[in-house]
Amino acid sequence: MNTPVPYLGNPQKTIEVLQKYKFVFQKRYGQNFLIDTHVLDKIISSAQITKDDFVVEIGPGIGTMTQYLASSARQVAAIEIDKALIPILEDTLGEYENVEIINEDVLKVDLRRLAEEKNQGRPVKVVANLPYYITTPIIMGLFEKHVPLESITIMVQKEVADRMRVGPGTKDYGALSLAVQYYAEPLLVANVPPNCFMPRPRVGSAVIRLNRYEKPPVEVKNEAGMFALIRAAFNQRRKTLLNSLSNSQELSFTKEELAEALEKLGWPQGIRGEALTLEEFAALNNVLEGK
């Protein structure tokens, strides 16, 4: 079968589809549709989609990027929360036989089972243009639920993309930076200005690709325990690490035990969490777990 040529991606076609269905943008879903073919091409090429791939797309909107994905992949599962978009997707994707539309909240979809059923449990590629308010829960859900992933290529708010990539001592460095860098290697693909979307967002966006590590770059005795330390360290980032950790409801160590661990690692008692690398958080967890 000949794959249809994607026709969405230019503003005129997008407006035509939206008018045809009298579509109203929902603020609560953070809907901003891509209307730039150069950016779409860049996303597809950086995601390295091939005819062997099963792709999960989160938030297909009116199907703009889905058309591009379907032209390049073996199969696409497009997960869309907004019921009002389903008839539009059935129209714009009607000619693509390798697309399945799933009208669900992605946070409630069992993506591990989906990968098992549709891709024999082999790693899938995730591609998404994510609403800003839900970026972190979606990304962390994909990693923490151990969905078999090869890569995640996503459009996010530029500030969020920066947070994923930075190291210690910068204002953007935090729990998200450490979590992403534990599971994947983040690579910036492109910065995308507001005029590439309809409606225009107030902030700049960026495409970032997260290449999943086969094995995390640090060895840690208790993954969940390390992330509890990281969350506690950044919940009160102006405080010293010792005070942040001893104030945390999530941790059960006494202040004395924590002070002893810092001393054992040769760290000053006044050190702050934002100064620690991923390796150092792993080392702290390993010392505390050894108690």
pLDDT tens, 7-27? 888 889 999 998 998 888 877
The number of CA neighbours under 13 Å toward the Cβ of 210 is: 29
Side chain identity, residue 245: L
Mean pLDDT confidence for 204-224: 95
pLDDT at 260: 97
Q: Note whether residue 204 is domain-resident.
A: yes
Mean pLDDT confidence for 53-57: 98
Give yes or no for residue 134 having a pLDDT over 90: no
Contact 33, 198 (CB under 8 A): yes
Residue 31's pLDDT band (cuts 50, 70, 90): confident
Give yes or no for residue 133 having a pLDDT over 90: no
Give yes or no for residue 179 having a pLDDT over 80: yes
Q: Note whether residue 205 is domain-resident.
A: yes
Same domain, 25 and 93: yes
Q: What percentage of the chain reaches a pLDDT higher than 70?
A: 99
pLDDT at 286: 96
Give yes or no for residue 291 having a pLDDT over 80: no
Domain boundary among the residues 157, 186, 212 is at 212
Residue 169's pLDDT band (cuts 50, 70, 90): confident
pLDDT at 166: 95
């390993």: which residue's tokens? 286
pLDDT at 284: 98
279: domain CATH number is 1.10.8.100
User: Quick one: the chain helix, strand, coil %, rounded to 5?
Assistant: 45, 15, 35
Same domain, 240 and 283: yes
Total structural domains within the chain: 2
Q: Note whether residue 31 is domain-resident.
A: yes
Same domain, 269 and 172: no
pLDDT at 6: 82
What does the pLDDT look like over 253-269, one tens digit per residue?
A: 999 999 999 999 999 99
25-34, 39-48, 172-181: the lowest-pLDDT one: 25-34
Same domain, 196 and 238: no
pLDDT at 162: 95
Going by the DSSP 8-state scheme, the letter that residue 291 receives in this structure is -
User: Residue 55's beta-bridge partner residues?
Assistant: 76, 125
Give yes or no for residue 99 having a pLDDT over 60: yes
pLDDT at 2: 66
Helices (H), 97-145: 111-119, 135-144
pLDDT at 264: 97
Residue 238's pLDDT band (cuts 50, 70, 90): confident
Give yes or no for residue 130 having a pLDDT over 90: no
* Alpha-carbon span 201 to 27, nearest angstrom: 11
Same domain, 72 and 138: yes
Q: Write out the residue range of the structural domain in which residue 97 sits.
A: 11-212
Give yes or no for residue 1 having a pLDDT over 60: no
Side chain identity, residue 281: F
Same domain, 98 and 197: yes
Q: Note whether residue 5 is domain-resident.
A: no
